Amino acid sequence: GGGTALRARLLWFDADPAEEGEARAVRYVADGIVVVENGVIREVGEAADILRRLLPDTPLVDHRPHLLMPGFIDPHLHMPQTQVIASYGAELMEWLAKYTFPEESRYGDPAVAEAASRFLLDELLANGTTTAGVYCTSHRESVDAFFADAGRRGMRMVAGKVMMDRNAPAALLDTAETGYQQSKELIERWHGKGRLDYAITPRFAPTSTEAQLEACEMLAGEYPELHIQTHLSENTAEIAFVRKAFAWSKDYTEVYERYGLVRPKAMFGHCIHLSARERGALAAGGATAVFCPTSNLFLGSGLFDLAGMREAGILAGIATDIGGGTSYSMLRTASEGYKVLALAGQRLPAFDAFHMLTAGNAAAMGLDNRIGRIAPGMEADFVVLDSHATAAMRRRMERVETLEEELFALIVLGDDRATVATYVEGRRAYDRALPARTLPPR
């Protein structure tokens, strides 16, 4: 077929080969068209140019005056925490014991995991998020349910079975041996199937024995191309716990280094209280630090040092961390990120923020060869955003003069109400004008 064409104001970010490090070139086409065929981008450019050569029977969706960007990428969230979100009054360790572990204990039931996966994926799409790094629970059933649903929708997803063999209720514990075996079975079943990738997922050092971390090391060695995801240095009580549980280690990061888990495509959630040595170790390993601002504020964990990460040469992403985090919206997440950085005297300009939500998070997940930009050959996942979605936004936009001002107000005032449509592999997977779940299945 001749594909499908989408017309809108296009915004994305290319790496700028003329510059180093975090440099990115802003690409903005005020009246642009992106042509999609077989789930990938065939071409992108000025509408006037593309209309001249577009076959007359090519379906064209006109999203003007809205903005079309690469679909948002959320590199860290927990599928089984959609009913933990907004639990009152605890810091990390108490929050886990009191709310999160009891809730996750229900996810051996496939029906529970299926309902949560469906809700989560619907909600991500309503917020313009098309790819995520996802923690399931320690139950195999939770991983099967999540991947099956994401696969049916054609979404690019990275997920894994949480490995945890101590310091949690029995219903959540695996063992070094079963954690290894079950992870391996799930890798063989799901990894590389369509757009699904498996992540080796030890929850965090406090819930794994040394034997389990050795099993993770073995898995990581057998599957060197896989993602790894875990938590690191989120909360001071957590850090003290690790210091006791791993007395041989000079700091938290060394525990993961010892077991070969600090490497490219290893995504460390939080990274708030890192020493200079730990930052150096993450940079040297090519690992990623993931900023989770709404979670860090909600759980009172601390302030992520984005400038410090960049100075150290660490790839940084930004994520919701549902359900320690409090919003599914990457716009809200960027807005809270702006405020966290403001408390430390740092700035997050609008272009940097949208770069992080798209190409930046794609790079942080090692997926920048497939998603995060609008360019021929890239996968056709998009979000269409309305910067005038609410009365407060319309009121503010009356006085906005530049694209950068508009984008900043969209971040600070926007949420799921700003999502006009979300596309997965070039198909409309969410449409603001339609009731939820009426869109045709893949």
Cα Rg, the chain, nearest whole Å: 21
Choice between 296 and 358, CB closer to Fe ion: 296
Does 203 engage in binding with ligand GUN (CB under 6 A)?
yes
- Enumerate residues 263-322 that contact ligand GUN by CB under 6 A: 295, 321
Cβ-based nearer residue to ligand GUN, 92 or 356: 92
Any idea what DSSP says for residue 112?
H
Contacts to Fe ion from residues 309-338, by CB under 5 A: 321
Comparing CA positions, the residue from 261, 254, 203 lying closest to residue 228 is: 261
The least distance separating Fe ion from the CB of residue 293, rounded to whole angstroms, comes to: 13
Beta pairing, strands 196-202 & 162-163: parallel
* Contact between 78 and ligand GUN per CB under 6 A: yes
Nearest distance, CB of residue 80 and ligand GUN, angstroms: 9
Q: How far is the CB of 262 from ligand GUN (least distance, A)?
A: 17
Q: Based on CB atoms, which residue is closest to ligand GUN, 280 or 302?
A: 302
Buried b (16+ CB within 10 A) or exposed e, 229-252: bbbbbbbeebbebbeebbeebebb
416 binds Fe ion (CB under 5 A): no
Q: Is 428 near ligand GUN (CB under 6 A)?
A: no
Sign for the pseudo-dihedral over CA of 411, 412, 415, 419: negative
Among 12, 146, 180, 204, binds ligand GUN (CB under 6 A): 204
Least distance in angstroms from the C-beta of 262 to Fe ion = 18
CA 147 vs CA 79, 123, 198, 243: distances in Å: 11, 16, 9, 35
Please tell me whether residue 234 binds Fe ion under the rule CB under 5 A.
no
Token duo for residue 179: 């954690």
- Judged by CB under 6 A, does residue 174 bind ligand GUN? no
- For ligand GUN, the binding residue among 231, 265, 373, 427 (CB under 6 A) is 231
Q: Which stretch binds ligand GUN (CB under 6 A): 62-70, 92-100, 177-185, 361-369?
A: 92-100
- Site mask, Fe ion, residues 259-278, x = CB under 5 A? ----------x---------
User: In the complex with Fe ion, which residue's Cβ is closer, 130 or 230?
Assistant: 230
CB 129 within 8 A of CB 328: yes
| Minimum distance of Fe ion from residue 327's CB (angstroms) | 14
80 lies in the site for Fe ion, by CB under 5 A: no
Binding of residue 76 to ligand GUN (CB under 6 A): no
Q: In what order do the strands lie in the sheet with 419-424?
A: 40-46, 24-37, 4-15, 60-70, 382-385, 419-424, 427-431
Place of tokens 């917020």: 127
Phi, psi for residue 197 in degrees, rounded to 5: -125, 140
Q: What span, in angstroms and rounded, lies between the C-alpha atoms of 268 and 256?
A: 10
| Residues contacting ligand GUN: total by CB under 6 A | 11
256 makes contact with ligand GUN (CB under 6 A): no
Binding residue (CB under 6 A) for ligand GUN from 47, 77, 79, 100: 100
Which residue type, as a one-letter code, is found at position 426? Answer: G
Let me know if 18 is exposed, middle or buried by CB neighbors in 10 A (0-12, 13-18, 19+). exposed
Please list the alpha-helical segments (H only) found in 234-349. Answer: 236-245, 252-258, 276-285, 293-298, 306-312, 330-343
List contacts with ligand GUN (CB under 6 A): 78, 92, 96, 100, 203-204, 231, 234, 295, 321, 324
List contacts with Fe ion (CB under 5 A): 269, 321
